[in-house]
């Protein structure tokens, strides 16, 4: 019987008392990869079904910001396959996120056989906290940082005026027959007939009904800059911010690990508080340059994460000393 067949439960054994051959390791790795791959493919099928709704969910902060500034909430593509590639990208990212518990569990099953009981105890103790911090960071980006950032930059662009020497405008009577009065409607009228023209106030777009289809014409602000945001670039920005803040919210565990390894101690971390506060303020100023709403609200969570890491380090030392 092979050693892989008689391997003990990876919860209460010592790796020094159990050895696997190279072939057993490869067979175990292959089995874990296959299980994780099947989980990912199953989640990918589900994400393909709801892919369009997921794209709309990612674009919701931008849509709300554009609508708030009375700009047509419409995005653009510059390549033929941009929409399809974004659809595939979003579906695969969401499938990986959905299947991540299964994938991490399989990875843990493979790695745990080489760890000592004390090491396994530390990892299983802080993995739930790591997942919570990751999800908290992503939710913080989507519900606060992203809306504030997008609103700030759109507001900034809309304040740059268009100035040039134009000829004096001619006065025209509003009752002149050539003037077109477009009705303002919140939504689409019913019933629709070919040739109907109206302005949808809910979407800030001029709509024309032709050949049993609604055609739209987007309007931008009357200034020097008008947003023409492409879908791939926006999705890349959102995904990058989600990953960046998800990893940044792992700061408490990084601080705890540095203390446990012995690279720094708690008194040194406390002396570095003013420098960490300055770095958090600098990062918040770069990401959200709005001092009143965005910068302060982003700076405080980043600094509190550092303080939470110090708390974990102190709390861990108090628990480890009696155990020793």
Q: In three state form, how does the secondary structure of 254-301 look?
A: HHHHHHHHCCCCHHHHHHCHHHHHHHHHHHHHHHCCCHHHHHHHHHHH
Distance CA 242, CA 145 (A): 10
- What's residue 166's pLDDT? 57
Q: Residue 250: which region, alpha, beta or left (left: phi > 0; alpha: psi -120 to 50)?
A: alpha
pLDDT at 193 over 80: yes
**Mean local confidence (pLDDT), 207-232:** 84
Whether the Cβ atoms of residue 269 and residue 310 lie closer than 8 Å to each other: yes
∠ CA 52-57-60, nearest 5°, is 125
CB atoms near residue 267 (< 10 Å): 8
∠ CA 273-278-284, nearest 5°, is 125
Whether the Cβ atoms of residue 141 and residue 242 lie closer than 8 Å to each other: yes
- What's residue 165's pLDDT? 63
Q: Regarding predicted confidence, which is higher, 219 or 176?
A: 219
Partners of 207 in the beta sheet?
Answer: 198, 216
pLDDT at 3 over 50: no
Interacting residues of 248 by C-beta distance below 8 A, sequence separation 6+: 137, 302, 305
Instruction: Express each pLDDT in 294-321 by its tens digit.
Output: 667 677 888 888 888 888 888 866 666 5
Whether the Cβ atoms of residue 289 and residue 295 lie closer than 8 Å to each other: yes
The single residue listed with the structure tokens 């005026």 is 161
Interacting residues of 121 by C-beta distance below 8 A, sequence separation 6+: none
pLDDT band at 44 (very low <50, low <70, confident <90, very high): very high
Distance CA 101, CA 57 (A): 22
Instruction: Express each pLDDT in 261-282 by its tens digit.
Output: 778 888 888 888 888 888 888 8
pLDDT band at 172 (very low <50, low <70, confident <90, very high): low
DSSP run (H or E) holding 209:
strand 205-210
Mean of the per-residue pLDDT values of the chain: 80
Q: Regarding predicted confidence, which is higher, 166 or 55?
A: 55
pLDDT at 2 over 50: no
- What's residue 95's pLDDT? 92
């Amino acid at each position: 019987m092979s050693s892989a067949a008689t391997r003990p439960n990876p919860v209460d054994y010592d790796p020094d008392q159990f050895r696997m051959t190279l072939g057993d390791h490869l067979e175990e790795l292959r089995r874990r990869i296959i299980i994780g791959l099947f989980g990912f493919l199953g989640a990918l099928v589900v994400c393909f079904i709801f892919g369009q709704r997921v794209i709309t969910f990612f674009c919701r902060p931008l849509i709300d910001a554009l609508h708030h500034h009375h700009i047509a909430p419409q995005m653009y593509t510059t390549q033929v396959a941009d929409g399809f590639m974004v659809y595939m990208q979003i579906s695969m990212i969401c499938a990986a996120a959905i299947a991540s518990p299964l994938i991490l569990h399989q990875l843990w099953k493979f790695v745990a056989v080489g760890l000592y009981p004390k090491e396994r105890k530390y990892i299983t103790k802080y993995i739930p906290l790591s997942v919570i911090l990751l999800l908290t960071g992503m939710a913080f980006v989507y519900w606060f940082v992203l809306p504030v950032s997008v609103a700030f930059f759109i507001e900034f662009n809309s304040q740059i005026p268009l100035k040039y020497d134009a000829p004096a405008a001619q006065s025209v009577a509003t009752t002149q027959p050539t003037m077109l009065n477009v009705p303002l409607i919140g939504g689409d009228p019913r019933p629709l007939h070919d040739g109907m023209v109206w302005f949808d106030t809910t979407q800030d777009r001029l709509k024309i009904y032709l050949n049993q289809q609604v055609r739209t014409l987007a309007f931008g602000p009357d200034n020097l800059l008008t947003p023409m945001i492409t879908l791939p670039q926006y999705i890349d920005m959102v995904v990058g911010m989600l990953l960046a803040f998800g990893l940044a919210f792992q700061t408490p565990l990084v601080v705890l690990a540095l203390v446990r390894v012995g690279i720094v101690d708690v008194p040194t971390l406390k002396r570095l508080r003013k420098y960490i506060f300055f770095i958090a303020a600098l990062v918040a100023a770069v990401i959200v340059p709005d001092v009143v709403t965005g910068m302060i609200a982003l700076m405080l969570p980043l600094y509190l994460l550092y303080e939470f890491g110090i708390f974990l380090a102190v709390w861990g030392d108090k628990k480890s000393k009696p155990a020793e």
